[in-house]
Amino acid sequence: MEKTVSPVIIKRLPRYYRVITHLDSIGQTKVSSTAIAQLMDFTASQVRQDFCSFGAYGQQGYGYDVQKLKAELENIMGLNKMHNMIIIGAGNIGRAIAGYKGFGEAFKVCAVFDIAPEGIDLGEVKVMNMSQLADYCAANKVDIAVIATPRTAAAQAAQQVVNAGVKNIWNFAPTELDLPGDVLVENISMSESLYVLSYYMNRQEG
């Protein structure tokens, strides 16, 4: 039943979702592939092809139903399910993620672990010692572990969460993690977005 969606298109799904959510928030009920393409700097045929690849079809002369498209994207990306997250590392990045309001309803930061948690107060989010990680993961459903340690500590931290049974890792440390094949790792690189900006800056000057 399910189609295979290429990794290139998967990377675009969140950006489609961002645009569609924005349109929904301003009360727009339908949208053409041309309008979506303009908002995303794509071509309309690319948009139609992408949507088609995950089974969303517009109507000739009408376009796409915004709410239906939003629901389809939420379903594909699992945004209609709750994901419990823990964060490893209570430094600046760990705190920023714990306090970030933009992830939406589908993600909840349940606890933060650090090797020196004393005196760190993150409000509603509990801060615990790394030594409590295994017990916590045994007693609670943890869907995602966020690695927000310094680069040099990332490999060991990742190994610890995997040993504790966590199968999905969101890695903020600027290093590749070498983990068993059944562990999903998504690396976020803040530099990627900065380099895109830098590209456009230097084209203008060129």
Binding residues vs a copy of itself (CB under 8 A): 2, 7-8, 10-11, 13-15, 17-18, 22, 41-42, 46, 76-79, 81, 83, 91-93, 95-104, 106-107, 143-144, 151, 168, 170, 174, 176, 184, 186-204, 206
Angle between helices 33-40 and 7-25 (to 10 degrees): 100
Q: How far is the CB of 173 from a copy of itself (least distance, A)?
A: 9
**Residue number, 77 or 132, with CB nearest to a copy of itself:** 77
CA gap 100, 66 in Å, rounded:
26
Q: How far is the CB of 31 from a copy of itself (least distance, A)?
A: 16
State which amino acid sits at residue 166: V
Q: How far is the CB of 193 from a copy of itself (least distance, A)?
A: 4
Q: How far is the CB of 62 from a copy of itself (least distance, A)?
A: 26
Cite the beta strand spans of the chain per DSSP E.
Answer: 30-31, 64-65, 83-88, 107-114, 126-129, 144-147, 168-171, 184-187
**Residue number, 78 or 115, with CB nearest to a copy of itself:** 78
- Written as one string, the DSSP assignment of 4-19 is PPPHHHHHHHHHHHHH
